[in-house]
Copies of this chain bind each other. A is one copy, B any other.
Amino acid sequence: MNKAPDDQRTRREEYAEATRQALLASGRETFAREGYQAAGIEAISRAARVTRGAFYHHFEDKKALFDAVVVSLQSDAAARVQETSKRKSKIWERLYTGIDAYLDASIEPAYARIVVQEAPVVLGNARFAEIEEQYPMALLKATLRALKREGELVFDDIDLLGHMLDAVICELSIKLPTSSDPKKTRINGRKIIEGLLDSFRRK
């Protein structure tokens, strides 16, 4: 019960954390490949080389694992966005490099299917919004607000503008993989985003 001040990570904790990570990784792959519904807990567990018992020890239920997978994907994406845009000094540049990085992340099959398409359905809009408000969406909105503060952007509801921008990016991430000319589609998508923002730019 009493933890001595010198207590450290025990061997058991280390092992447990490793299997938890294995289940998370296995879940990410299986959900991405087969979708939430078709992904069986048995299959996810086998791919992580454990049994169902281990699964239910680490996660409340199937939805809990999915939730954790979504959070980890969002966290990864946000980190990538943050990394590429933080060094830019001009805000507009920060915004656009961030958007590009966000698009790169969204295009990946696992993200597009799990986060963009299935997460709102499986977790519900309320919970999804909760997760979204941290991570990528937060960065996007923060940059938009910064632009507004500087008088660069003229629009009331920055929150809404952020969501609409997000919607365009997400739709693009769904359409891009099956596009006949992905390169061109991406360029045109970028143009649409620029057009959208441009119409609220200070004249």
Contacts and interface: CB of A to CB of B under 8 A. Distances in A.
A195 B200 contact: yes
A40 to B, nearest CB: 15
Contacts of A168: 164, 167-168
Contact of A167 (B161, B171, B195): B171
A37 interface: yes
Interface residues of A, number: 35
Interface of A: 35, 37, 117-118, 120-121, 125, 155-157, 160-161, 163-164, 166-168, 170-172, 174-175, 178, 184-185, 188-189, 191-192, 194-196, 198-200
Closest 7 CB pairs of A and B: A195-B199, A167-B171, A157-B188, A167-B167, A199-B199, A196-B196, A164-B192
